[in-house]
């Protein structure tokens, strides 16, 4: 077994998709271990370390056995592990609708074009804004989604100016604004979006309302 064909996995479980335009749908989550960023509001720090090394074919079998049409690779940052690229391809070949949550720092250029990439743009309040890999925007299409997590009005203003400066909505119409749970009121973001007539989707992280803000593996 070559180390290149294994992945360190934090957890694999079925739940419903809590975010994105797929919110509410049954989904199998494959959460990889490890991230090279440290967003100050990260809600999955438990995935920074630990995990179990598994062969790619084992991860594939576990992801398929739950039977959901939707499968999401998330983390941590899945693209830090080279076997993520062939795993995404395997899941597409198996007929699944495949989502990839990625930080916006990792290079997405090798991701199978059938995958729906949900890519963050890190606002200043994350502490990781300097890590945005802007060239990634050239590798997105209208099937992909761009997500900005907002911790403050300043983050909102940053996002508004970036959308214009980088013509993000001409890359994809699926631009998602979320708030850091407990830090910024979603109703305030709704008011700002209406005032500025921004063509974005304000979203809630459904899983945090269904279970609890710090629930794991749901």
Q: Which whole-number Å values give the CA distances from 91 to 54, 57, 70, 196, in the listed order? A: 16, 11, 10, 40
Backbone φ and ψ for 166, nearest 5 degrees, come out as: -100, 5
Give the interface size with ligand SF4 as a residue count (CB under 6 A).
10
Taking the complex as a whole, the smallest distance from the CB of residue 65 to ligand SF4 amounts, in Å, to 25
Please identify, using beta-carbon distances, which residue of 27 and 79 lies nearer to ligand SF4.
79
Taking the complex as a whole, the smallest distance from the CB of residue 42 to ligand SF4 amounts, in Å, to 3
Do the Cβ atoms of 162 and 147 come closer than 8 Å? no
Q: Does 77 bind ligand SF4 (CB under 6 A)?
A: yes
Report how far Cα 197 is from the mean position of its chain's Cα atoms: 25
Question: Binding mask 16-35 vs ligand SF4 (x if CB under 6 A, - otherwise)?
Answer: -------------------x
Residue of 119, 145, 57 whose CA lies nearest to 94: 57
> What contacts 195, CB < 8 A, 6 or more positions away?
none
Q: What is d(CA 12, CA 1) in angstroms, rounded to the nearest whole number?
A: 21
Q: Does 51 bind ligand SF4 (CB under 6 A)?
A: no
Question: Binding mask 82-111 vs ligand SF4 (x if CB under 6 A, - otherwise)?
Answer: ---------------------x--------
Q: Does 129 bind ligand SF4 (CB under 6 A)?
A: no
Please identify, using beta-carbon distances, which residue of 128 and 137 lies nearer to ligand SF4.
128
Q: Does 46 bind ligand SF4 (CB under 6 A)?
A: no
Taking the complex as a whole, the smallest distance from the CB of residue 179 to ligand SF4 amounts, in Å, to 14
Q: What is d(CA 60, CA 65) in angstroms, rounded to the nearest whole number?
A: 9
Contact residues for ligand SF4, defined by CB under 6 A: 35, 37-39, 42, 44, 75-77, 103
């Amino acid at each position: 077994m070559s180390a290149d064909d294994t992945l360190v996995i934090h957890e694999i479980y079925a739940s419903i998709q809590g975010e994105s335009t797929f919110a509410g749908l049954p989904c199998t989550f494959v959460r990889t271990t490890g991230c090279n960023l440290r967003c100050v509001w990260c809600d999955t720090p438990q995935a920074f370390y630990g995990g179990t090394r598994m062969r790619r074919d084992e991860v594939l079998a576990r992801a398929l056995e739950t039977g959901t049409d939707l499968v999401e690779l998330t983390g941590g940052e899945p693209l830090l592990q080279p076997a993520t690229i062939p795993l995404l391809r395997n899941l597409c070949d198996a007929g699944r609708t495949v989502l990839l949550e990625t930080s916006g720092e990792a290079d997405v250029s090798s991701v199978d074009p059938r995958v729906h990439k949900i890519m963050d743009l890190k606002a200043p309040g994350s502490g990781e804004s300097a890590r945005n890999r802007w060239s990634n925007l050239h590798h997105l299409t209208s099937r992909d989604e761009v997500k900005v997590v907002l911790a403050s009005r300043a983050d909102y203003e940053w996002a508004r100016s970036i959308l214009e400066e980088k013509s993000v909505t001409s890359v994809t119409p699926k631009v998602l604004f979320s708030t850091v749970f407990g830090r910024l009121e979603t109703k305030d973001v709704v008011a700002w979006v209406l005032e500025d007539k921004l063509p974005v989707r304000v979203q809630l992280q459904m899983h945090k309302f269904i279970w609890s803000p710090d629930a794991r593996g749901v």
